[in-house]
Chain A
Amino acid sequence: MESALVIVIGVMTATGVYLMLASNLLCYLFGLILLSNAANLVIFVSGRLTRVVPPLIPKGLEAPPEPVANALPQAMILTAIVIGFGLLAFTLALVVGCYRELGTIDADHMRLAEPIDPDGEH
């Protein structure tokens, strides 16, 4: 199970990086979604995958009997998902703003902040 997920993570990362390298900002955004979910899956796998053993403490015991699922990575993923979603929403809004104001979402054509000097000096 772990190795299958690891391959999935690898494919998602590779696809995400490929998309992020495009100069089209929308492609970048899709790549960002893939890469951030790949990162979430890394945390998920690093907690080790166990089936049907929720970390619950039966009545009368002080601690859950081994083996139990690790709940901490899931708490971390939740945090990461929320943060990642917020950042994604912001980035999407920014890209829309860019499209409205600059009229392009091609990063190669965004040279307002760093203009190319026509005569080549400074």
Chain B
Amino acid sequence: MGWLLALPFLLPIAVGLLAFAARRTPPLARAISLIGCVGLLLVAGAIFVQVLAQGPVAAQMGNWPAPFGITLVADRLSAIMLLLVALVGASVAVFALADVDRHRETLGFQGFYQLLLAGVCGSFVTGDLFNLYVWFEVMLIASFALLVLGGDREQLDGGIKYVALNLVSTLLMLMAIGMIYGLTGTLNMAALHQALAEVEQPATLQLLAVLLIAAFGIKAALFPLYFWLPASYHVPPVAVTAVFAGLLTKVGVYALIRTFTLIFPADLGFTRELLLGAALLTMLSGVLGAASQYEFRRILAFHIISQIGFLVLGLALYSPLALAGTVFYMAHNIVAKTNLLLMSGTARRMAGSFDLLKIGGLYRASPLLAAVFFIAAFSLAGFPPLSGFWAKLLLVTASLDQAAYWVAATALVTGALTLFSMSKIWSEAFWKAHPQEPPQTLASLPAIERVQRMAPAVVLVLITLLLGLFPQPLIEFSQAAAAELLNPAGYVAVVLSPSE
């Protein structure tokens, strides 16, 4: 079991090193990267099957028993996150073949891309707080490199803001980790679950909780800590934006979920109200920010923020249904969001700009592109019977169950404003005629590029459709995952007292 849980990060690191060594011969680096992505899909699938069959699984690295060594753990949440990483990783890797230019490839794009996947996967399987910090750093340095790779002036401008604010998050996290260690003498998450419950200094615990909310809140782009995101996400190549949008902020949300279901005791004063307030303001400010934009990718970037609010909302409501909603929303959002970003890249390729006022006529130029965008966008806005509808239904029902009517109202208003933004893109980019000459048609692109651009999009949109038309399996899975999160006894037992 041990090697299987380590593979989600060992494989991308090895593949990344090989791809980086082969960066001067892009075809070879591409092949290595693609094989690595297929391998990651298989590994994530194997872990998912195992977790489905036997619940949480753990492995002690170097046979050091917990809590002394580094533990790797996968429960249902980790397993589905790994599967989503592998899916997004493979889709964007294929898209990147058409989107990332040769110059960036020879600078080592494929290597950094794999390293990013390694950092994300490592964050999802680790059961140790300090190790989580290390994976965050791996992810961070890879994302820094991807963001500024190529060195356009805009990239440097956006990159410096991204770097500056994310480093603050890292330092806050490190300080919190140091103090938690000083308080309990352990950093193993399962051991912390027991140790922190016995700490009788509520003020200290709340301080640590707030430090971690700030640290992970910056990563997750929570209100009012999100300003690095709209400043930077629209500057790198589209493939980089797509993988960032799909995965990076979600790692922050994942860390918040772990912290406030497993590590800290459930009744921790005002932290839940803090998360709830932040979630609602994140939803609203993200969607309002998007409403004022006329740039394809910047609209989508602001919507990432808004949807982070939904994810944290489920955690803040803290009921089985709400957490199930968060897990479902995560799966829906990662798939739909990545796909929309991919579409924005293809739209620019065909119509020549990201500026909605300068493009148009895409519906006529490519009905396939239009259909994929339409389904992903309206799923994001929460239209039945698409996947976003079920995700929002779970969260809204959960808030109504707790008689939090204004929470439900905020969620619905956010949904309506999302629809406004998506309709804006639809009518400007797809429906109206192009202001100058009609855009290139999809059929006029080289056949290989067409496949590289549209195959990942079609696969992702099929998943969105499947989740929408047959939501029951994922809802049941999400409820099981939520039950595990709310009652971490199984997780703790498998880490601290392994049966072998």
Contacts and interface: CB of A to CB of B under 8 A. Distances in A.
Interface of A: 20, 25, 28, 32, 35-36, 38-40, 42-48, 72-73, 76, 79-80, 83, 86-87, 90-91, 94-95, 97-98, 101-102, 107, 110-114, 122
B49 interface: no
A94 B156 contact: yes
Main secondary structure on B side of the interface with A: helix
Interface in B167-181: 167-168, 170-171, 174-175, 177-179, 181
15 contacts: A28-B164, A32-B171, A38-B175, A42-B175, A45-B178, A47-B181, A80-B174, A87-B167, A90-B141, A90-B144, A91-B164, A94-B160, A107-B161, A107-B164, A113-B158
Contacts of A28: 164
Interface stretch (B147-155, B240-248, B332-340): B147-155
A25 B137 contact: no
B232 interface: yes
B175 A98 contact: no
A101 B157 CA distance: 9
Interface residues of B, number: 39
A107 B141 CA distance: 21
B156 A97 contact: yes
Which 10 pairs from chain A and chain B are nearest by CB? A46-B182, A43-B178, A42-B178, A113-B158, A112-B157, A39-B174, A113-B157, A122-B294, A46-B178, A39-B175
B232 A43 contact: no
B163 A91 contact: yes
Contacts of B156: 94, 97-98, 101-102
A87 B167 CA distance: 8
Residue from B130, B140, B157 whose CB has the most chain A CB atoms within 10 Å = B157
Interface in B231-260: 231-232, 234-235
Contacts of B160: 25, 94-95, 98, 107, 110
B486 interface: no
Contact of B178 (A39, A48, A90): A39
